[in-house]
Structure 1
Amino acid sequence: MIVEFLQDVFTPEFAFLRRALLVAMMSGVVCAVVGTYVTLRGMAFMGDALAHSVLPGIAVAFILSGNMVFGGLVAGVLTAVLIAVVSMHPRLREDTVIGVLFVAMFALGVVIIARSPGYSGQISSLLLGSLAGVSPRDVWMTAATSVIILAIITLFHRGFVVVSLDRETAHALGLRVRWIDLVLYVLVSLAVVASIRSIGNVLVLALLITPAATARMITQRLSVMMVLAPFIAMFSAVSGVFISWTWDLPTGAAIVLVASALFAVTWLSTMSPLHRRSTQRPESSSPALQGTSHA
């Protein structure tokens, strides 16, 4: 089956399969890299909020034949700003505000889709991912978005690491923590938009969190984690597309199930008594120290 799949990938009439594979791999890389910071900071819920909040912006842009990256980014940044502003209320916790706003934005996206019946079938592919829905324009858009994301990460890497490991230290060093937070939220929104075509809006959080969490169980070194997570994501993307094509399954679900299976296998192997004895470290060698020294 693998040989047949490879033959199909390079067959001219199945060009959409080749495009889907490219988009899935690029999406896996950027989501895994951004997801490393999300995992380190324990902000999976925030990632979920931003992943769902881009839906109304993407839906509007899609219906108006506009730029989906711009539409999703506007919706994501708007949600991030609203979370920061509404969280100023003394009686509201940030996680409560996140829960309220991300559900509200997702519901708004669903309403927009429902009010545009002529596009509902096409937009549904944005929710669950689609092999056939990937166009040449999507490939270029994902590639451009990926380059932008990786360039921003290169510029802000030190700030992301320090803020992720110790916000008080970040303040003491004079870093603008709130601005760094906002930049990370923008990157999450961009990564989500880049992954919409291959994995869909509903399941994209798994591509942000699962590969990074799997890599985190394997290593305590941040530099290794940031290399390992994209490889795990790319393997999940390629395997998921293969499974989706071979057994006619939803692309996003297949990719997520592969990533989840890798997570489960890694958890079982790293929790074995033999592995735990072999990886014991002196108490002074903490994950935070290792993450800082290798950042």
Structure 2
Amino acid sequence: MVAECVVRRLTAREEYAVLGSLVVMMTVSAAFILTVFPALYDAFWGSACTAADTWLVCSGFLQRGFTAGILIGITAPVVGAYLVNRQMALIGEALAHTAFGGVAIGLFVGAAAPRFDYPLAFALVVATIAALAMQYVAVRTDGYADIPIAIMLTGGFALGIAVISYGVTFHATVESYLFGDILFVPFENVQLMVALTLVVVGTIALTHKQLLFITFDREAARLARINVAFYDTLLIVLTALVVVAAMQILGAILVAGMLVIPVAAAMLLTDSFDRGLLLSVLLGQAAVFGGIFLSYSWDIATGAMIILVAIALYVLALLLSALLPGR
């Protein structure tokens, strides 16, 4: 009994340490994006524009789009690697639709009170609440069943449509969040995405060992006194952050693709989780850059083109895996 109490105290201390580190990372990230990042951003793109001297690099909206895309290409596969290996891919889709409901609320509030016109902030709050609610349902029902995910997916989207249809007209803005629009990314949202990326990557780096343990052997993790519910909640909240960050480039309808497709392609090419994690990020970057370039070459929606390039990379990985020995 004494030993069990000691173990529980150590486990609780570990969780408090993780939460404390998360608060520190959020504080440092906020300070970084407000003070250091604007100067770094201007210096980097100024140098790139001088070196390349092309509108693809010198256009302000493309600079913001490329920066946002690069961040998405990092965070989405990193979080998606755990989701895919735990067969939780649909959770990303459910949170994306719920976040759209938050965007609709934010647009509605912003139309009534312009000083509160921060739809992504509302999306972040709503998606985080939805993530916690989904985790609560999962604990109560002992698993991420299809029914609560379907309810969350359709309910979030229904909420967004209900708010939009209430009487406020902002069709172009709504479409940009539904389908993604690289032209619609203001610098303030790029700053938010940088902060979310720092928090997500930093948290994953801090808790990688525990997340890996519960991903592949949950029962052994419980026997090792790892608080599985705590790390499940942490992962699903991180997923909500990634979904909100990616909405403006990919749109609520397509955002789950970047959580799943690069990871699925990487899993075809390697059996190692760590190598697959790195490879999925590289594939994510290839999909982002390829999608942006092709969308402007062919005049096709950027979010859709990114996902189509990701699918093409998956098909290529599928063909290559057939040639690899032992695959």
TM class by shorter-chain length?
0.7 to 0.9
* Residue 130 of structure 2: aligned partner: 79
Q: Aligned-pair distance for 1:86?
A: 4.3
What TM-score comes out, normalization by structure 2 length?
Answer: 0.77
Instruction: Trace 1:1-295 onto structure 2 (pairs within 5 A).
Output: 7-11=54-58, 14-63=59-108, 64=110, 65-86=116-137, 94-272=145-323, 275=324, 278-279=325-326
Aligned length: 270
Q: Any stretches of 5+ residues in structure 2 without a counterpart?
A: 1-51, 111-115
Q: CA RMSD in A?
A: 2.2
Cα distance in 2, alignment partners of residues 88 and 177 from structure 1: 10
Cα distance in 1, alignment partners of residues 316 and 299 from structure 2: 25
Task: For residues 201-233 of structure 1, give each alpha carbon's deviation from its aligned partner in whole angstroms, at most 9, with x where no partner exists.
Answer: 110000000001111111111111111111100
More helix as a share of residues: 2
Secondary structure of the structure 1 residue equivalent to 2:184: coil
Q: Aligned-pair distance for 1:117?
A: 3.6
Secondary structure of the structure 2 residue equivalent to 1:220: coil
**1:34/1:188 contact within 8 Å kept:** yes
Cα distance in 2, alignment partners of residues 168 and 141 from structure 1: 37
- Indicate how the Cα distance of structure 1 residues 69 and 179 shifts in structure 2: closer, same or farther if over 3 A, else same: farther
Q: Any stretches of 5+ residues in structure 1 without a counterpart?
A: 281-295
Q: Aligned-pair distance for 1:130?
A: 0.7
**1:83/1:94 contact within 8 Å kept:** no
**1:206/1:256 contact within 8 Å kept:** yes
Question: Which runs of at least 4 in structure 1 moved beyond 6 Å after TM superposition?
Answer: 88-93
Q: Which amino acid aligns with 1:236?
A: A
- Indicate how the Cα distance of structure 1 residues 91 and 10 shifts in structure 2: closer, same or farther if over 3 A, else same: closer
**1:73/1:186 contact within 8 Å kept:** no
Identity in percent:
28
Secondary structure of the structure 1 residue equivalent to 2:300: coil
**2:131/2:240 contact within 8 Å kept:** no
Cα distance in 2, alignment partners of residues 185 and 21 from structure 1: 26
What TM-score comes out, normalization by structure 1 length?
Answer: 0.85
**1:54/1:76 contact within 8 Å kept:** yes
